[in-house]
Structure 1
Amino acid sequence: MYYPDELIEEVRMKNDIVDVISGYVRLQKKGANYFGLCPFHNEKSPSFSVSPGKQMYYCFGCGAGGNVYTFIQEYENYTFPEAVKMLADRAGVNLPEIEYSEEARKAESKRSKLLEINREAAKYFYFQLRAKQGEIGYNYLRNRELTDETIKKFGLGFANKTSNDLVQYLRSKGYSQELIHEAGLCNVDEKHGMYDKFWNRVIFPIEDINHRVIGFGGRVMGDGTPKYLNSPETPVFDKSRNLYGLNFARTSRKGNIILCEGYMDVIAMHQAGFDQAVASLGTAFTIGQASLLKRYAKEVLLSYDSDGAGVKAALRAIGILKEAGLTGKVINLEPYKDPDEFMKNLGKEAFQERIDHAENSFLFEIRMLEKEFNLSDPEDKTKFHREIARKLCEFSEEVERENYIEAVAEKYHIGFENLRRLVGNTAAKTGLAKPVERPKSGIQKKTTPEENSRRTQRLLLTWLVEEPQVYPKISRFLSAEDFTEELYVRVAERLFAGLEKGELNAASIISLFPDEEEQREVASLFNTKLLEPETLQEKEKAFHDILVSVKRISYEYNTSRLGTDVEALNRVIEGKKALEELSKTHISLN
């Protein structure tokens, strides 16, 4: 999808970022900017800044940042065209009809029709639950202690005992047999022809994050098999990249996501106020689902069944969460099997207490490992300690490994130094990790020269955005090519082009970068914390030092890469002259 740059900029300018974000976050004015609690990570003191001057937001806690489009994309999980449409509607800007290629038009039309037929099927199931024939399904849900409000919120329905009434209904609405079959709503065979996929089942509509029905799950009434049946994958339903309940959980802002096994667990938790609960869709938890969760929380609490299968699934999920860069913890449901059963017996306050004391995922893994050994037998106990050492070798960061060695040693009454040596020996023998060395006290990790260089360049870009009037005084000394990172060069080119015309439009630069991570980084370039010298003289010196540093970094960078290229040689010579002149030049900030 494509909209002209001029139209994108018009929509952005008609949506003041403070007004838009105020609809999601409580903001308080402090100086020139507004501050609030970041909606993208859990925090107690406000580090989320919104600048009306820059028309940008930036969180100094988690690094989230961008313009009004970025915010809507991140918060609502919209694509860029969806964010443009939402903000255009908000500002009363008419968008042109988007032109598709023939192939794209057909694909988009197919998706729209599948979503439409799913919505129609969901309405039909919903109606059937409330009709006489759906009484068995309604009673089942009420016996599970679901309220009418919850049933309505999740759009729960019922598929009749008859084998083809949904197919007949959809045909009467004008949908073709091919579309009904492609939507996964029917089966076809030689003996029975076309018949409903779901019958005699309570129906759980599965919605995407934008509340569009993309598939269904069905729980059989009685002793039929399988107990749970799900829609097959379709062009709109990818089980590995969707999660049940995420359409509600993504806006819960609880600071974590609770991952369950089943639909009923999710629904029961939402009804009890734990609206951050989600479940995988009848399949094992996947890396795609973990990546999806990472958009909304850094911590995932596993609330799987406490039986053997649940423990096995939890152990597998822990590995996937680690791979995705998420922190995992495990909620202890014992003596009950699942969250629904737990809350029915002990209540939501007790469940909240279990959440507050959720077990570290690594310590959970060790506790499950412990069950495989007889610790009263010295040989078995030694084997257990060796397995612990092997698992501790999985930590690549020495400080983290050291912390876990300490925690495990204390929990299992192993001598700290003994376990530490065992880990070191295991690492050396297996090559799993480098032997752990105790960090020397009082020594902190130093930043690298490369990071110092990048920070200096970010400081200069932020300063020019904060005080654009200084640019004409330094433009003869500075060019976009003086920056050593490709992204910084691209940003500087656009920024300087605007400043040459006397225009500052930093927020529009962000829209040039489609990648979310790049947008964050661009936002950070304009939000690096500046020093606040007390006097004008000190401020001018600080600015001059930063500018000279950037020129020196540029000169050294080009010199180190100098080959036989004459043009490159000229750049180095010019850079040296500019650096020498700049070093002697006073730059007034008045």
Structure 2
Amino acid sequence: MSGRIPRQFIDDLLVRVDIVDLIDSHVPLKKTGSNFVARCPFHTEKTPSFSVSRGKQMYHCFGCGASGNAISFLMDYSHLGFVEAVEDLAAFVGVDVPREIGGDFSASDKEDFTRLYAVLEDVAAFYVDQLRTGDGRIAVDYLKARGVSGEVARDFGLGYAPQAWDVLLGRFERDALIDAGMLVVREDGKVYDRFRGRLMFPIRDKRKRVIGFGGRVLDDSLPKYLNSPETAIFSKGKELYGLCELLQKKSRPERILIVEGYMDVIALAQYGVANVVATLGTATSKTQIDMLFRYASELVFCFDGDNAGRQAAWKAVDAALSCLRDGRQIKIMLLPQGHDPDSLIRDEGKAGFEQRIEQAQVLSDYFFDFLAGPLNLSSIEGRSQLMTAARPQVEKIPPGYFKDMMWRRLRELAGSRVVELPEKPSTLNRQFQGKVGKAKTQRPSLGRRVLALLIQRPELAQVLAQRHLSLEGLKFAGQELLEDVLRRIALEKPENGAILLEAYRGSSYEKTVNALAGVELDIPEGGEEAEFFGAVIQLLKQSRQEKLTELLAKEGREGLNAEEKQVLRALLRERL
């Protein structure tokens, strides 16, 4: 679903929705003064620090710093992408999401997707029913032999595809089955069921919709596992088996374990290890890793200890490097030879298996062990080979402390100073941004106060014109951002701060704007205009005084040119 949603619709949606009603339907709110509060859903806390403002249509947590509008809340709370969040928000207020003409999403596409979801849901229910009849006993016996309980089979929706060529065709719409990947079309146009005589694993997306299947044979025939093909609603590199079921049990797991097979997920769930997902027959992708980091800050890759497992682990590490921002951690857990997760947890029990997870090797150690292991680092040649192999990989890591430490570790192992540390990333107005996260008890600086007021109440921009205030000569750490905010307000005319936040989504200013939107200003209701006007006046005076001091110092030191003398005279007249 990649069609563009009209920006005007998103703005109108943010005007129509009441963020208090939305959040209260997920997290019970309690009115305190003019705002509503709750314990933050994004981190663990004993006392409420999560505040929701009906007037601003924004939320902010003074504990963890989370802030945003109604769309941001749904994205973070329900683990949705932007489009999914807009669709859910539209459903909350009872409207349909339009699509812009000319994109690659036609008006009929939504109906087509709905048709695919519906037929896959019906097929999944049909497969579940087949476990109770006829040949389905074969699958039941297999599950019992593997120690899978009826409760776990129910939770994961396990089913059975009968050993027949056209069992689905006689029950469901032919075209829908073809589009959903459930039928194979031969060259002569005839079709037959893709899955036959297999234990079936429905693959669900984050919104609990069936999007595809995995099927396992119950004898020695090949292929052992068969997956649905790529369809309009299913992409193997973007989905993970078991993620839907995991999030239903715990929306914020401490860590997530990534394994290689469907039955690994089922077997571990049977032993009470529920924070497990599996890839869908492909190497772990960057998209999958980024998605998992939305739910947990630690990922553990669990692979067999043979050569294939080690190669799979390295591919996962390679895909993960560009995802490793500070605060994220990846571990590699290689299993003993001859074991898979199912057999290992049977031998060692849940406690032993979880101890192995705790003792798994961190990515940095695995990275250098893998690259340096076959090399002789006592020789120049070996150290040179290590640098050749490691440097392009380390360069993939986003700027931050972790990347700096990886560079230092590489330099230590290579015994060379030629591996120079990269320059520290430059961020816009670093000094100004660094102040944003300070405790709420500290009174905001004058510049932050002006910006926070303007972001929270965009209508205050009118005060500048109404009172004939010119910002000429204004100079402070957040000046560029102020100019940008005023430009966006003039261009987009947002009706509230929530819409202004949406205008900054994906921009270089997004993090700073969101933080300023949550700054507590302690201004009596109705006093925002006077506060804003006074703060701008003070900021202008401050800027002019700084310029006056600068010119006076330069005059005494080296003299002024004609233009500077004119500016100095004007500033002196203003002071008088």
Q: Say whether the fold is shared (TM-score over 0.5).
A: yes
Which residue of structure 2 lines up, in the alignment, with residue 159 of structure 1? 161
Query: 1:183 and 2:180 equivalent?
Result: yes
Q: Which residue of 1 aligns with 2:196?
A: 199
3-state SS of 1:50 partner = strand
Cα distance per residue 1:415-460 (max 9 Å; x no partner): xxxx6384434xx3xxxx42699xxxxxxx9998832356675442
SS at match of 2:199: strand
Q: Is it true that 1:8 corresponds to 2:13 in the alignment?
A: yes
Equivalent residue runs for 1:524-539 within 5 Å: 524-528=515-519
2:119 matched to which residue of 1?
117
Q: Partner letter of residue 461 of structure 1?
A: L
| 8 A contact 2:299–2:330 mirrored in 1 | yes
The answer to whether the aligner puts 1:129 opposite 2:115 as a matched pair is no
- Residue 316 of structure 1: how far off its partner (Å): 0.9
**C-alpha distance in 1 between matches for 2:177 and 2:428:** 62
Which residue number in structure 2 is paired with residue 507 of structure 1? Answer: 498
Q: Does 1:450 align with 2:432?
A: no
Cα 1:546/1:316, change in 2 over 3 Å:
farther
The answer for the alignment partner of 1:19 in structure 2 is: 24
Q: Residue 348 of structure 1 corresponds to which residue in structure 2?
A: 350
Could you tell me which residue of structure 2 aligns to residue 247 of structure 1?
Answer: 244
In structure 2, what is the Cα distance between the partners aligned to 1:120 and 1:399? Answer: 50
Q: Is the 8 A contact 1:303 1:332 kept in 2?
A: yes
**In structure 2, what residue type is equivalent to 1:338?**
D
Deviations along 1:57-99, one digit per CA (max 9) or x if unpaired, are 2356776421122201332244667545645665xx5436858
Who is 2:279 aligned against? 280
CA distance in structure 1 between the partners assigned to 2:85 and 2:66 by the alignment = 17
Measured on the aligned residues, the alpha-carbon RMSD in Å equals: 4.8
Pick closer, same or farther for the CA change 1:468–1:305 going to 2, 3 Å: same
State the alpha-carbon separation in 2 of the partners of residues 304 and 111 from structure 1. 35
Q: Is the 8 A contact 2:251 2:295 kept in 1?
A: no
Cα 1:73–1:186 change in 2 (3 A) is same
1: distance between equivalents of 2:27 and 2:17?
16
User: Following the alignment from structure 1 to structure 2, what is the Cα–Cα distance between the partners of residues 458 and 282?
Assistant: 51
Moved more, 451-460 or 67-76: 451-460
One-letter identity of the residue aligned with 1:344 = R
Aligned mate of 1:229, from 223, 226, 230: 226
Mapping for residues 367-386 of structure 1, pairs under 5 Å: 367-369=369-371, 371-372=373-374
The reply to whether residue 50 of structure 1 matches residue 51 of structure 2 is yes
Is residue 2:450 matched to residue 1:460?
A: yes
Instruction: Within 5 Å, give how 1:386-397 maps onto structure 2.
Output: 393=391, 395=394
SS at 2:289 equivalent? helix
| 1:294-332 per-position Cα deviation (integer Å, ceiling 9, x unaligned) | 333333211122222111111111111111335321134
Q: Are the structure 2 counterparts of residues 31 and 169 from structure 1 closer, same or farther at C-alpha, using a change threshold of 3 Å? A: closer
Residues 38 and 46, structure 1, Cα contact 8 Å, conserved in 2: no
Q: Identify unmatched segments of 5+ residues in structure 1.
A: 409-418, 438-444, 499-503, 533-538, 557-571, 586-590
TM (norm. structure 2) is 0.73
1:150 aligns with 2:133: no
Residue 451 of structure 2 contacts residue 516 of structure 2 at CA under 8 Å; is this kept in 1? yes
1:94-128 CA distances to partner (integer Å, 9 max, x unpaired)?
Answer: 43685886971232222222222212211111111
How many pairs align? 517
d(CA) in 1 for partners of 2:455 and 2:504? 18
TM-score by length of 1: 0.72
* Residue 267 (structure 1) aligned with residue 270 (structure 2): no
Query: CA–CA distance in 2 between the matches of 1:48 and 1:191?
Result: 65
Q: Quote how far apart the aligned CAs of 1:391 are.
A: 6.0
Q: Which runs of no fewer than 5 residues in structure 2 stay unpaired?
A: 436-445, 524-530, 549-562
**What residue identity is the alignment partner of 1:288?**
T
Within 1, Cα distance between the matches of 2:12 and 2:463? 33
Higher helix share: 1
Partner of 1:292: 291
Q: Match of 1:337?
A: 339
CA displacement, residues 106-162 of structure 1 (integer Å, 9 cap, x when unaligned):
322222222222122111111112212111111112222221111111111111122
Q: Which has the higher contact order (CA 8 A, sep 6+)?
A: 2
Q: Deviations over 1:465-519 (max 9, x none)?
A: 6799998987543669974247533455489x78xxxxx9323433445649876
CA distance in 1, matches of 2:537, 2:214: 64
Are the aligned partners of 2:27 and 2:38 in contact in 1 as well (CA < 8 Å)?
Answer: no
Of 55, 69, 72, the match for 1:67:
69
Residues 225-234 or 297-306, more deviating: 297-306
Give, in angstroms, the shift of residue 259 of structure 1. Answer: 1.5
C-alpha change, 1:477 and 1:354, in structure 2 (3 Å) is: farther
Q: Deviation of residue 388 (structure 1)?
A: 5.1
Change (3 A) 1:194 1:505: closer
Question: Which position in structure 2 is the counterpart of 1:564?
Answer: none
CA distance in 2, matches of 1:516, 1:141: 50
Change (3 A) 1:117 1:243: same
Is the 8 Å Cα contact of residues 259 and 303 (structure 2) preserved in structure 1? yes
Q: 5 Å matches for 1:288-437?
A: 288-325=287-324, 327-334=329-336, 337-369=339-371, 371-372=373-374, 393=391, 395=394, 400=402, 403=405, 420=412, 422-425=414-417, 428=418, 433-434=419-420
1:258 CA displacement: 1.9
Alpha carbons 1:115, 1:213 under 8 Å: kept: yes
SS of 2:17's equivalent in the other structure is helix
Q: State which drifts further: 310-319 or 445-454.
A: 445-454
